[in-house]
Structure formats: C-alpha cells, structure tokens
Amino acid sequence: MHTQFDVIVVGGSFAGLSAAMQLARARRRVLVIDAKKPRNRFAAHSHGFFGQDGKSPADIVNEATAQLAKYPTAEIVTAEAETSRRIDGQFDVTLQDGRTFTAARIVLATGVRDELPALPGLVERWGTSVLHCPYCHGYEVADRRLGVLATNSLSLHQALLLPDWGPTTLFTQGAFEPDVQEQAQLDARGVVVERSSVVEVLGDVPHIAGLRLADGRVVDIDALFVGPTTHMASSLATQLGCEFDDGPMGKVIRVDELKQTSVAGVFAAGDAATAWANASFAAAAGVTAGIAVHRSLIFTR
C-alpha cells in the first residue's frame, strides 16, 4: 500500500466510487477509504437507479468496488478516516488504526447520519416500513395505507406527493399545522389530517399494523414516511475548515457546481453535500467531482 496519492476519496458508496472511477480512468493514483457504513445500509433494495433497479445497495457497491479495483492506479482500504489536515498544499488523512495517507486533493463523500424522532417502533423499522423517499420506496407500498409523520413544515410536501401511491394520512405531531391554503391543498389531494400525536408504532417488526395515538385510538397504517434530521457522518469537513449551508433536514457541505468546497483542493459529493438525497444524484455528483478534481490537478496549482 502506497502512502502518497494524487487524490484521496473518503467514502466508498455511490458518490465516492463514481468519483474514484473517473480518476482511475484518468490514470491518477487514487485511494478510496471506506468505513462500510453507508446511509442506505438499512434498505434491502435500491429503486429508480438507472440499470440497477431492484438490486440491493450492497450488491451495487460491491460490484462497483470490484470494477474499480481492476484499475492499477486505484487502491481501496476498508477503515474509518479519523482526522485530516492540510500541510504545505497537501492533505493528510489518518485512519483510526494510525495509518496516514497523503494526497494533493481530497474528495469528501462521507455521507450523513439520519436521526429519527424519538418514537417507539421507528428505528427498528427504518428502511423497511418506515421510509423517507417516495421515489425510492413508494412503488413497493403502492395502494396500501400510507402515513406521514410530520417533523417540520416540509412534511406537507411529502404528504402532497404520497397520494399518487396510496391513501395518505398526515400526522401533524404538533410539529406542523397547515394554514387555510395548505389545508385546501391537502383536501384536494384527499389527504386526511390527524392532529392527535402518534405515541407508538404497532405490529410485528419490520411490519406496521397501526399507529397508537395519544387519545388512545389506533389508526391502521401499512407504511410510514418520515423526514429525518441529518447530521454529518464524519467530522472531516469541519476539521478541514469547509463551510456549510443549512439544508431542510440538516447542514450540508457548501459546494459549487463542480463540487469544489470553500477550501481549495477539497471537493465534496453525495448526501453530505446536497439536500437532494438519491442514488442517481449521488453517483452523478461523484462523476462531476472526479472530473473536476482531475482538471484541477492539470489547470490549477
């Protein structure tokens, strides 16, 4: 294993591997550091991703990793990157086991961590019957009884989308109260608004039989959509001094159209750098970052 690279990519899922592939094909020495803790590890299948519909996220990543490993200038290490710093125009990345690697550029594809509301029964069903994205999972629960657990005003958007997949109930949870215009939109879409708070998810895990409300009633629901709060899965962007923007679910790393962060030589792609969480978006962002990094090695010093 070498210690000096052109580029270090931290994160080996859809965004990171896409970035690394561009760099390996440009015959640059690229190291991918991956802790094997992708955000989508709780989902059994990935949907809506061109040419990969229905495959498990793990199978997609394993296949892409094997393809990348065939390029002689690419190396992959399974470990967690703990610290990073810039020294004399180069970037050091140190792993939890103490190994340190250096590169001229770094791509942060470190992802985010989801925080769900503190409600009994949510976490153990996450990715199966407790879901986030209707475009990723809506088809699989179509024509069933769907619920939206409000976490903020953006839950209105989720509730207005979901009737295309099935009958929908919006549980406001005291986090959101529709105004007159919003209520009219919900009525037009046939969304039922329930203001008594959900206190428990019922049924045999991973399935949902219903939701127990604070007033004692039980509402029959088969799948529940929730907008989680997101947190950076890694502190590397903060360590390197990257600036952040406030996204609808949490902070995201600030990048320009070429995925360059506010720190010269540091690029970011994937869920850590966008509020639009989607496998296709992540892969496309990784391609953009990989090409931009390669060009930066040639045209800027």
DSSP labels for 126-189? Answer: BTTTEES-HHHHGGGGTTS-EEEE-SSTTHHHHHHHGGGTS-EEEE-TTT----HHHHHHHHHT
Looking at the structure, do residues 17 and 55 belong to the same domain, yes or no? yes
Q: Which residue matches tokens 């550091």?
A: 33
Task: Give the length of the chain.
Answer: 301
Looking at the structure, do residues 109 and 8 belong to the same domain, yes or no? yes
* pLDDT above 70 coverage of the chain, percent: 98
Quick check: 40 pLDDT over 80?
Answer: no
Note whether 112 and 102 are within 8 A (CB).
Answer: no
Model pLDDT for residues 48-104, shown as the tens digit of each residue: 788 888 788 889 899 999 999 999 999 999 999 999 999 988 999 999 999 999 999
Structural domain of 33: 4-114+229-299
Looking at the structure, do residues 158 and 253 belong to the same domain, yes or no? no
Mean pLDDT score, 24-43: 90
- Residue 4's alpha-carbon distances to 104, 152, 294, in angstroms, are 9, 45, 16
Three-state SS for 196-264 is CCEEEEECCCCCCCEEEECCCCEECCCEEEECCEEEECCCHHHHCCCCEEECCCCEEECCCCCCECCCC
The strand pairing partners of 10, in sequence order, are: 33, 108
Looking at the structure, do residues 52 and 187 belong to the same domain, yes or no? no
Mean pLDDT score, 199-205: 95
Looking at the structure, do residues 73 and 166 belong to the same domain, yes or no? no
Looking at the structure, do residues 127 and 68 belong to the same domain, yes or no? no
Looking at the structure, do residues 219 and 122 belong to the same domain, yes or no? yes
**pLDDT of res. 45:** 80
Mean pLDDT score, 10-26: 97
Handedness of CA 230, 235, 238, 240 (dihedral sign): negative
**Average pLDDT along the chain:** 94
CA distance 220 to 93: 50
Mean pLDDT score, 230-249: 95
Looking at the structure, do residues 183 and 274 belong to the same domain, yes or no? no
Model pLDDT for residues 277-293, shown as the tens digit of each residue: 888 999 999 999 999 99
Q: What is the pTM of this model?
A: 0.93
Ramachandran bin of 66, using left for φ above 0, alpha for ψ from -120 to 50, beta for the remaining angles = alpha
Domain count within the chain: 2
CA distance 46 to 127: 11
Looking at the structure, do residues 219 and 245 belong to the same domain, yes or no? no
Looking at the structure, do residues 166 and 293 belong to the same domain, yes or no? no
User: Among 226, 256, 276, where does a domain finish?
Assistant: 226
Quick check: 147 pLDDT over 60?
Answer: yes
CATH number at residue 289: 3.50.50.60
Question: Which SS3 state, helix, strand or coil, does residue 8 take?
Answer: strand
Quick check: 301 pLDDT over 60?
Answer: no
Quick check: 44 pLDDT over 90?
Answer: no
- Residue 279's alpha-carbon distances to 67, 70, 111, 127, 285, in angstroms, are 18, 23, 12, 14, 10
Parallel, antiparallel or unpaired: strands 4-10 and 30-34: parallel
**pLDDT of res. 154:** 85
Model pLDDT for residues 148-171, shown as the tens digit of each residue: 999 988 899 999 999 999 999 999
**pLDDT of res. 2:** 62
Quick check: 1 pLDDT over 70?
Answer: no
* 98 DSSP assignment: S
